[in-house]
Amino acid sequence: MLPYALVSPLALFIVALALVPAGYTIVASFYKVQALDPPTRFSGLDNFRRLFRDTAVRESIGNTLIYVVIGVTLSTVLGIAMAVTLQHRFRGRSVLIAVLILPWALPGVVEGIVWTGIWDSNTGLLNSALNSLHIINHYQVFLGQHRLLTIFAIELVQVWQITPLSALLVLAALQNIPGDLYESGNLDGASAWAAFRRITLPLARPGIAIAMVQAVIATLNVFDQPYILNGAAPTGASLTMQTYFISFQNLDFGEGYALSLIITIATLVVSLGVVKLVYRPVEF
Amino acid sequence: MARNHWLRRFGIVLIVVWSLTPVYWAVNTSLQTDVQVASKPAHYLPPTPTLRNYRAVVSGGGDIPNAIRRSTVNIFIECGVATIITVALATLAAYAFARLRFRGSKILFFAVLATMAFPAYTTLIPLYKIMSTFGLVNTYTGIILVYVSGFLPLATWILHSYMSSLPLAIEEAGRVDGASRMQVLWHVVLPLAVPGIISTAIITFLFAWAQFLFPLVLSSDLSTQPLTVAIAALQGRHLVPFTLLSAAGVYAIAVPALIVVTLNRYIVSGLLSGSVK
């Protein structure tokens, strides 16, 4: 009986507050659930049809795809670069790792506020720095005007948050690579770039795959950063923001369930795709 | 090797500049007056550092300091209690999964791990509905229950990896001496697992501290709103100057930043345990 006593609190939480709600999301997305227009009744694919007819939702699908592409690409490239920097021991390495993980530990909301100080059109660091360097003559508006620029600026804030974990996951994979592989590489006269291409990158694939999956989950569900940096403005609104507006402002929970379900399925499909594409088992 | 050194130096500068510039800039802004912040080009160092923004955020009887102080109490209660419950339940379950054989253990462990692949917001609306059905919206209990359910899978996974790596011999010696399973868990395994437990607790606490959308939905007023929600509400009010907002931001990241500076070894080992296997 002891094992069941030990796991039952966990099981209770997982069943009652994760599995049952997840199942409920699936079922309820086929129902009309509107707080302002009861009663709740079965409505087939109606929620999905209305979602895809909603131009704001359609636009946010495009926005979210851009968030994912920018976020996954940048966090992976930066993560690998940072992991390679930390691959071999040197003095101050552990301090550098603490510096590295700082952005990961901070709340997304506050990161949004912190980065407002960089993007701001009147007092922002970027405008001031570009102006001091004579790259621009007039202060620019980075947020809320051009769609791509807005999304890039917002996503960079999320990249700031998720890159540390990517770097750590890749670093863990790198530290499993036996050092003598590089030594035999040196004897062959392999350049640093060739060693990186032929030894580091292939052997880090398991770590890179996990890093990309965590980036996919984070970016496909981005909320805090666009909500803080751009508020309810339609430019650059993400799918999760639409879910929030539809459910908790329009009080159309049925559509909210349907959109949650779409985001969840998209997250699972893209994550699996990344694993298939990138993950290769490695044995030493 | 010379070129490698050059590359590494570039990487080191990249990490330091990338991680610290935004934080430095928020601190720099928070130490200036509104007039100084409006200067073009900006002051890269505060010309006359002042703490008046911080005083305006936390002291006195106004609207803003009241909200910040109350939400600080809230966030400590919610994160602290959620962390304690999560770590306690995860420790028990992780021990069972790592050391005991029982029917259904594989299925249950798989179900726990599978929930980690789902985005957290999948359950946002149903959890809100459940909490409102039981009258738990705008209560500490509601928020803490949601946090515990959200963080249990990762905590169980980290502790399971950690306990699986502990040597079996000591536990078996305890069993031979006639100690019960619970005595072994309490007197032998727990002391050995302390580093793993600390890692799990820190990571859980940091995740809880960062939460925004769940408490935004689950708490409608200051009685339960955590600091993140209170600061986002400040940001939504157009009359709040950016210097003050920056001070509030720096105030809100002081605790996680302090944890990273002092306990980063535990964070790294916790995040990596079992991640690459």
CA A41 to chain centre: 35
**How many domains in chain B?**
1
Residues whose CB is less than 8 angstroms from the CB of residue B70 and which lie 6 or more positions away in sequence, other chains included: B222, B223, B225, B230
Our CA-based measurement puts residue A128 at a distance from the nearest CA of chain B, in whole angstroms, of 5
Contact across the interface for B100 and A2, Cβ inside 8 Å: yes
Q: Residues with Cβ < 8 Å from B40, sequence gap 6 or more? A: A128, A131, A139
**B56 within a domain of the structure (yes/no):** no
Q: Do B272 and A108 touch (CB under 8 A)?
A: no
**Into how many domains does chain A fold?**
1
Question: How much of chain A, in percent, has pLDDT values that exceed 70?
Answer: 97
pLDDT tens figures, A165-206: 999 999 999 988 887 888 776 666 667 788 888 888 999 999
Residue B45 lies in a domain: no
CATH of the domain at B145: 1.10.3720.10
The tens digit of pLDDT for each residue in A50-80 reads 999 999 999 999 999 999 999 999 999 999 9
A 10 A CB-CB count for A239 gives 24
The tens digit of pLDDT for each residue in B22-55 reads 999 999 999 999 999 988 889 999 999 999 999 9
Give the residue carrying structure tokens 């738990």.
B136
CA of A22: how far to CAs of B75, B128, B159, in Å? Answer: 27, 12, 25
What is the predicted pLDDT for the residue at B3? 54
Average pLDDT over residues A208-227: 94
- Assess A226–B contact: CB distance below 8 Å, yes or no: no
Residue of B nearest to A127 (CA): B41
**Residue closest to A153 by CA, chosen among A267, A74, A214:** A74
Q: What angle (nearest 5°) sits at the alpha carbon of residue A194, between those of residues A191 and A200? A: 120
Q: How much is the pLDDT for B277?
A: 41
Residue A41: in which H helix or E strand, if any? strand A41-42
CA B11 – CA A84 distance, rounded (Å)? 8
Over residues A213-230, the mean pLDDT reads: 94
A130 touches chain B (CB under 8 A): no
Within a domain: residue B64?
no
> Does A283 reside within a domain?
no
Q: Which of A4, A18, A78 sits opposite B149 (nearest CB)?
A: A18
Question: What whole-number distance in Å separates Cα of residue B123 and Cα of residue B109?
Answer: 20
Taking only the tens place, the pLDDT of each residue in B152-188 is 999 999 999 999 988 888 888 877 888 888 888 888 8
Domain span at A79: 45-278
Query: Out of A28-32, A35-39, A151-155, which region has the weakest mean confidence (pLDDT)?
Result: A35-39
Six token digits for residue A26: 């699936």
Q: According to the model, what pLDDT value does residue A235 have?
A: 82
With respect to residue A39, please indicate whether it lies within any of the assigned structural domains. Answer: no
Q: Are strands A31-32 and A41-42 parallel, antiparallel or unpaired?
A: antiparallel
The nearest alpha carbon in chain A to B218 belongs to A248
Is residue A29 a part of any domain in this protein? no
**Would you state the pLDDT for residue A140?**
87
In a domain, B201, yes or no: yes
> Is B119 within a domain?
yes
- Hey, are the CB atoms on A90 and B8 less than 8 Å from each other? yes
Phi, psi of A41 (to 5 degrees): -150, 160
Residues of chain B under the 70 pLDDT cut = 1-4, 274-277
Are the beta carbons of A257 and A25 closer than 8 angstroms? yes
Inside any domain, residue B3: no
- CB of B95 less than 8 A from some CB of A: yes
Residue B213 covered by a domain: yes
- CA-nearest of A161, A144, A223, A236 to B216 is A223
B67 in a structural domain: no
Domain that holds residue B127: 74-272
Say which DSSP state A32 is in.
Answer: E
Indicate which CATH number applies to the domain containing A201.
1.10.3720.10
Q: Which residues of A touch B29 (CB under 8 A)?
A: 117, 123
The residues facing A252 across adjacent strands are A34
DSSP state of B120: G
Contact residues on chain B for A248, CB-CB shorter than 8 A: 128, 217
